[in-house]
Amino acid sequence: MLRATYGNQSVVSVRPWIGRDPMEGAGSRAAASGDADEMRGRAARARAARGVSFAAMRSSLFASVTIVSLCVGATACNRDAPRPDQGSATTVASGTPATTNGEVTVGKPAPDFKAKDHNGAELELSALKGKPVVVYFYPKDETPGCTTEAKDFRDQWKGFEKTGVTVIGISTDNPESHKAFAKHHELPFHLVSDESGAIAKSFGVPNRAGFLSRQTFVIGADGNVKKIYRDVDVSKHVTEVLADLKS
């Protein structure tokens, strides 16, 4: 109620309350409070989502690093570990000027070496002079190409025996591996372990992480190199070598 005086008259006026209904205000305040709660909820959910996303990204990154590490490890494990020089088992004798630094030349003496074969028999290349010798280098026992090559020498052994040749297979595998390889495939010739790679080096044969290149040297009865195979096709190689010995 409002009272006003105009001159000698007093006027009373009854007017409705100016403003919003108290309940309406309460509802607005409640709505505002609800909006704030919703906003806070959304912010909390956003933070949680970012946390989950970060955790997932971190897990993915960790998994990727783990996979890379395993791949590198697997790759490393697939290679032969460097082996210590076993000079007591394999010795490269003093070479002639023609064979220095692995420079093997047809018509010149082959690099001399001393070694034991897979059965423990002593071999010295220079002591075999008077009959032909085949020295062949190969990567690893029991691998497909190396097994094919060894079995071809075995299967044509009667032809090789007629030439009086001594066949010596050389790789970086240890004597136990050679012994098992020879027994498994009934190989009738010598296998020599060149674990230090010294013999291969004297013949100029590359050694890549413990795997020797597949190369063959045909040495005549006079001790001189007769034929060098720097590239070998195992499907026909043994037949070629036998033909060289017969020529």
Q: Is 216 exposed, middle or buried (0-12, 13-18, 19+ CB in 10 A)?
A: buried
Beta strand ranges found along the chain (DSSP E): 2-6, 9-13, 90-92, 113-116, 122-124, 133-137, 166-171, 190-193, 207-208, 211-212, 215-219, 225-229
- Using CA atoms, how far residue 173 sits from 57, 158, 192, 215, in Å, is 45, 27, 8, 16
- Residue 77 is a catalytic residue: no
Q: Which of 104, 128, 146, 241 is catalytic?
A: 146
Inter-residue contact 209 to 75 (CB < 8 Å): no
In the numeric block, which tokens belong to residue 105?
Answer: 């030349």
Maximum distance among all Cα pairs of the chain, rounded to whole angstroms: 158
In the numeric block, which tokens belong to residue 246?
Answer: 């017969």
Query: CA dihedral in degrees (136, 142, 143, 146; nearest 10)?
Result: 20
Please tell me the distance from the alpha carbon of residue 138 to that of residue 133, in angstroms, as a whole number. Answer: 16
CA-nearest of 244, 44, 42, 36 to 160 is 244
Residue appearing with tokens 């409070």: 33
Inter-residue contact 170 to 200 (CB < 8 Å): yes
Positions marked active-site: 146
